[in-house]
Amino acid sequence: MTSDMTCAGNVGPMETDPGDAEDAVARYLREQADRPLGDALLASGRTLAPFSQALGLGAENLLVKAIDALEAQDEDRATALVRRAVGLPFDEHEEVVPAAAAAHLMLFNLVTDVMEDSPDDDERWLDAALGILSDSDGPARLDVRDVLVAIAQDYDLTQNERRRLTAGIRGVEPGPELIDRKDLPPEELEVRVAAIVRACRAYVDALDDAEA
pLDDT digits (tens, 9 = 90+) for 41-63: 344 444 445 457 888 889 999 99
pLDDT at 19 (0 to 100): 55
- Under a CB-based contact definition with an 8 Å cutoff, are residues 203 and 129 in contact? yes
Q: Which amino acid is at 128?
A: A
Nearest-CA neighbor of 188 among 137, 142, 139?
A: 139
Is residue 96 helix, strand or coil?
strand
Contact 85/99 with Cβ under 8 angstroms? yes
Using DSSP's 3-state secondary structure scheme, residue 149 falls into helix
Residues 183 and 28: their CA atoms lie apart, in Å, by: 25
pLDDT tens digit sequence for 183-206: 889 999 999 999 999 999 999 999
